[in-house]
Amino acid sequence: MLITKPSKYHQNGFSLIELLVAVVVLSIGMLGLAGLQATGLQHNHSANYRSTATVLAYSIVDSMRANRVGAGDGLYNITLAESAPTGTAIYDQDLSIWLGELAARLPSGDGAVDSVTNVVGTVQLITVTVTVQWDDRRGGGSETQQFTLNSQILDRT
Chunked into runs of 10 residues, the chain (157 residues) has average pLDDT values of 64 76 92 88 84 96 94 93 90 95 94 93 92 82 86 84
pLDDT computed for residue 114 by the predictor: 96
Question: What is the structure's pLDDT at 129?
Answer: 97
The residues, any chain, with a CB within 8 Å of residue 123's CB and separated by 6 or more, are 154, 155, 156, 157
Note the pLDDT of residue 42: 77
Rounded Cα gap, residues 90 and 88, in angstroms: 6
Cβ pair 153, 64 in contact under 8 A: yes
The whole-number pLDDT of residue 157 equals: 62
pLDDT of residue 18: 85
What was the pLDDT predicted at 39? 80
Would you tell me how many other CB atoms lie within 10 Å of the CB of residue 88?
Answer: 7
Tell me the three state secondary structure of residue 130. Answer: strand
Residue spans of the domains in the chain: they are 16-156
